[in-house]
Amino acid sequence: MRFQEVSIRKISENMWEIPQTGGMRVPGLVFASEAMMGEIVRDEAVRQVMNVAHLPGILRHSIGMPDIHWGYGFPIGGVAAMDPDEGVVSPGGVGYDINCGVRLLRTDLTASSLKPRLPELLAALHRDTPSGVGSTGSVHLSPKDEEKVLVDGSRWAASAGFGSGDDVEFTESGGKYPGADPDAVSAVAKKRGRDQLGTLGSGNHFLEIDEVAEIFDEKAAESYGLFHGQAVVQIHSGSRGLGYQVCDDYLSDMADYMRRNRIELPDRQLACAHIRSPEGERYLAALAAAANFAFANRQLLAHQARETFLKALKMGPRELGMRLVYDCGHNNAKFEQHEVDGRSRKVLVHRKGATRSFPAGSPEIPEKYRHVGQPVLIPGDMGNASYVLAGEPGAMRLSFGSTCHGAGRRMSRTQAKASVRGRSIAQDMAKRGVLVACASWKTLGEEIPEAYKDVTAVVNVVHDAGIARKVARLKPVAVVKG
């Protein structure tokens, strides 16, 4: 397969290598089926994989996942690991919504038992979950409390009565990135975040009730507390205006750093600074703070959802049996140990629209899951399916412990809106058996199922490539959209 002047080599059924050409420091590696690869080439996300390969200090490969599509700087679905001493950190390799991620809550209820109460429950969740552009939450932080959130993440939420120790244990990194410094976050960013804790936001963010429709791995599903026919809840949100502002602030700083240090790259959206530079270290401290805000945000959303279920269904906590399965981010940069050139090294892994996929035995997985691997949460579109996977050893060998993060867009938001003129999306969803409530019908048009790739095809690629294995398929039954 060719991309402009470059011949892309198929190295296995679901892996493609982009040769090292021009100023590329490493080859590119894309996980995709043949049919997907044609679409990826047309989207020109391949060009961004090649651009990322120019970054100083990049190790082994510039990587694209099967949900890859055009993004800011890095493609969405892009992964790159950097040498801490010679490498750089790039806000474009993390994204604007720092530590945006997914949280999965299991219950003891079946989806069929919820069905008669579903319209009432959805209305209550929509009412109690602040969503939409500029939405504000019920928790109004003082400047001092906001700084505690930026340092402690989910742990602050649990200590403030919005969660438990179990919620912290089953959140990636224990719900707290180390090295966070509130002083590295601008006053503007803090102001934007102060009233947004516990809010869903807009765009592709959602709170969703799903049914566990299919189990592929009984052992892992049992460990995660999942069973066939079960009602579960997914929450997808991030660091809101605070994270967006952090990204914006540091893109400007790093563009200046590149000029001063004569770093030349094929795309100015890859603005970066050396990891060990004051600029790089300050961005990583701000990134950690924004990530902690995102963890706390999803914790508050989950706490509110739990309270709404109890109130709307008039049942007690024991009968509901709602607890956190896992919370994992998919827009971040983290220091991790990985094997490079036959030895274990500390590297900085950028994941932009990609999630961790650590295998059984990893000390970074909660002890309860250590024998089966990390839960990997892959939301699809609101009309079809989402998946729970488990991390596999192949991810450590091939993709720096990473896998896809969702279905991936195949239409821009503008294209999606244009394609639905004259249609009632809510009625379309109802015909599929999915109830929808949203803050903006305009946003709903951007999020139609046709705007996304086939999540089953995406998940089959990572399953067959051995970087994550299928555990369960979830079917949406009710959705609150931002």
Residues belonging to the active site:
405
Is the torsion defined by CA of 91, 95, 98, 104 positive or negative? negative
Question: Do strands 354-356 and 402-404 pair parallel, antiparallel, or not at all (unpaired)?
Answer: antiparallel
Residues 6+ apart with CB under 8 A from 362: 370, 373, 374, 391
**DSSP structure string for 429-453:** HHHTT-EEEES-HHHHHHT-GGGB-
Token duo for residue 469: 């294995």
406-410-413-418 Cα dihedral, nearest 10 degrees:
-140
Distances in whole angstroms, Cα of residue 164 to Cα of each of 23, 159, 299: 50, 8, 10
Nearest to 113 by CA among 307, 250, 309: 309
DSSP 284: H
Strand partners, 391: 468
DSSP 330: S
Residue 302 near residue 323, CB atoms below 8 Å: no
Strand partners, 110: 230
Distances in whole angstroms, Cα of residue 411 to Cα of each of 12, 368, 404, 448: 28, 39, 18, 10
Is the torsion defined by CA of 404, 203, 148, 367 positive or negative? negative
Residue 376 near residue 101, CB atoms below 8 Å: no
Which helix (H) or strand (E) is 293 found in, with range? helix 278-313
Residue 294 near residue 156, CB atoms below 8 Å: no
Q: State how far the Cα of 291 lies from the Cα of 20, in Å rounded to an integer.
A: 33
Q: State how far the Cα of 300 lies from the Cα of 398, in Å rounded to an integer.
A: 35
Which segments of 353-433 does DSSP mark as H helices, in order? 393-398, 413-419, 425-431
